[in-house]
Amino acid sequence: MKIILIGHSIIDHYKDTDEKKSSPGGIFYSTIGINSVKKTTDRVYLLTGWNRNSFHLFENLYSKVDLNRTNELINMPEVYLTVSDKSEREEIYKNLAENLSVDNVKDWNQFDGVFINMITGSDISLEQLKYIRKRFKGKIYFDVHTLSRGIDNKMKREFRPIPSIEEWLGCIDILQCNESELKTIVQYQNEVNSADKILSSGPNILIVTKSDRGAQVYFRAKEEVKNLIVNAIKVNSVNKIGCGDIFGAVFFYTYISTNDILVSLNAANKAGAIAASRNDLIILPEIELND
């Protein structure tokens, strides 16, 4: 199987009440997730940006995937994160990168799946997504991530309704967001109504992650909106960054391998719990899909 991951690599500057640190981030975490479940015969391709001065932060992991479609950047995007248990994290960006080039891919249908994580919100444009959709017959997974946030003159990211959201949705098969991001897609108070609207606009599956309350997956069966809920696995949580990215990558790989939403949800939930329980996320333990 061949999967291409699309999204910016960034440098995270992470701050909470106890600790300050800088580390590789962005599509880096999605790559960790894919590597934790893929078979040795699978090939993972990365369409991201990299910079000579900071590549050493990513090299250990990125040496395990195909980098022939990556873009060299003058400056890597950086984000200063303030994480709280009581609210959404705050994000202030530096060196916000331009759209990645999708022209490095000549044949999109060589891939079994296209995974897009809008790490910075400018990873690809709407026109680039339309370009990919026109040329790719398989499933496109789309994590809304920072597309849900605008940017002010101080580079701070705040939630706002996503412009042209109907056009974005029309190009997507599987959509992932958290509860705050969901409100930037549709503004209904009722989550089921929001899911119904989204599932009528393009995606076949909607995943809403809910932090320590687990996740909920919506899909349509016989014209009716169905849902599956998984509770978060109780762990000693020492990490709050990258868990949703790993969750999404594992769900996508598992789903295109099995075509089973429940198996995929359970595998993703397990991966997210492992990620939350580890400080060192360069490598996750291999995740068995049928546990």
Copy the structure tokens of residue 280.
Answer: 């060192």
Contacts with 18 (C-beta within 8 Å, 6 or more apart), sequence order: none
Give the model's pLDDT for residue 276. Answer: 84
For residues 232 and 65, the model is more confident at: 65
Q: What is the mean pLDDT of residues 33-51?
A: 95
Please indicate, yes or no, if residue 288 is contained in any of the structural domains: no
**Domains: count for the chain:** 1
Please indicate, yes or no, if residue 289 is contained in any of the structural domains: no
Detail the DSSP E strand segments found in the chain: 2-6, 9-15, 20-26, 43-47, 49-50, 71-72, 78-82, 90-94, 113-117, 139-143, 149-151, 156-159, 174-178, 205-209, 215-221, 224-230
Residue 216: closest CA among 182, 185, 167: 182
For residues 86 and 137, the model is more confident at: 137
Give residue 174's domain range: 2-276
52, 127, 133, 168 from 137: Cα distances, Å = 35, 17, 7, 16
For residues 291 and 76, the model is more confident at: 76
Please indicate, yes or no, if residue 290 is contained in any of the structural domains: no
Beta-carbon count within 10 A of 200 CB: 11
Whether residue 288 has pLDDT greater than 60:
no
Please indicate, yes or no, if residue 246 is contained in any of the structural domains: yes
Going by pLDDT thresholds of 50, 70 and 90, the confidence category of residue 167 is very high
pLDDT tens digit sequence for 196-236: 999 999 999 999 999 889 999 999 988 899 999 999 888 88
Whether residue 126 has pLDDT greater than 90:
yes
Give the model's pLDDT for residue 291. Answer: 47
Whether residue 284 has pLDDT greater than 80:
no
Of the ranges 74-78, 158-162, 227-231, which one carries the lowest mean pLDDT score?
74-78
For residues 161 and 157, the model is more confident at: 161
Give the model's pLDDT for residue 240. Answer: 77
Give the model's pLDDT for residue 117. Answer: 98
Please indicate, yes or no, if residue 291 is contained in any of the structural domains: no
Give the model's pLDDT for residue 219. Answer: 97
Whether residue 268 has pLDDT greater than 70:
yes
Q: What is the mean pLDDT of residues 260-276?
A: 93
Give the model's pLDDT for residue 92. Answer: 86
8, 16, 25, 98, 220 from 21: Cα distances, Å = 20, 9, 12, 25, 43
CATH, residue 32 = 3.40.1190.20
Phi, psi of 124 (to 5 degrees): -135, 160
Contacts with 244 (C-beta within 8 Å, 6 or more apart), sequence order: 143, 176, 178, 209, 272
For residues 59 and 19, the model is more confident at: 59
Going by pLDDT thresholds of 50, 70 and 90, the confidence category of residue 94 is confident
Please indicate, yes or no, if residue 9 is contained in any of the structural domains: yes
Place of tokens 């090299």: 59
Give the model's pLDDT for residue 44. Answer: 98
Please indicate, yes or no, if residue 283 is contained in any of the structural domains: no
Of the ranges 80-84, 89-93, 163-167, 273-277, which one carries the lowest mean pLDDT score?
80-84
Please indicate, yes or no, if residue 285 is contained in any of the structural domains: no
If DSSP codes are grouped into helix, strand and coil, which group holds residue 209? Answer: strand
Q: Which residues on adjacent β-strands are paired with residue 72? A: 50
